[in-house]
Every structure is written in structure tokens, then in C-alpha cells.
Amino acid sequence: MKKDKKRIEDEQWSEEQLQDYLNFQPLDDTDVDFQCLYRAYTRMNADVFEVFVDRFIEAGRNVNAQNKQGQSLADIIADHKKGAPYLQALTH
């Protein structure tokens, strides 16, 4: 972790914050569902991400959405050293 970054443990997210992430719109033509999930993955700890994915699915969103290179978030996370809990949240 970079020295200027503070590690946050047990971060709590409100329902309003989770809803804000669900309403995220990309600035380009990237698939909205992919970008929304990717953004959440890069900003949330695994526990919060799991709750977010549940909300995402309940909203009828596509957890298998792909980026412009044809990769789903699960494809990307599978190669990440600490990605297992995030991958589990996507595939449960």
C-alpha cells in the first residue's frame, strides 16, 4: 500500500452510499454494469462488496457484464492475489 494511503478496516457503508454506486454512470461507452461493479471492487472492502453485489443482483443488473476487452469482473479478479473473497461474492 502506498505510504500516503490509509488502510481502513471495518468500513461501514450506508444504504444511500450503496445506492449511489448502483446509480453510477460511466463517462464513456463502457458497459454500465461492468463499470459499476469494477468501481465498487476497487473502492470497497470484501464484506461491503458482497452486500453491494447482492443489491446489484436484486436490481436486475448483470454480474457477467464485460469491459471493452471482453472480460468480466470475475475474469479480472481471478488473477488478483487477494481477489478470492470478491470473486466469491460475484459467484455465490
Please check the confidence at residue 27 and state whether its pLDDT lies above 90.
no
The C-alpha atoms of residue 44 and residue 86 are separated, in whole angstroms, by: 10
Q: pTM of the entire structure?
A: 0.83
Nearest to 19 by CA among 54, 63, 62, 45: 54
Residue 1's pLDDT band, with cuts at 50, 70 and 90, is very low
The C-alpha atoms of residue 38 and residue 67 are separated, in whole angstroms, by: 9
Considering the chain, what is the average pLDDT of its residues? 88
pLDDT at position 7 is 46
Domain ranges of the chain: 15-91
Helix (H, G, I), strand (E, B) or coil at 46: helix
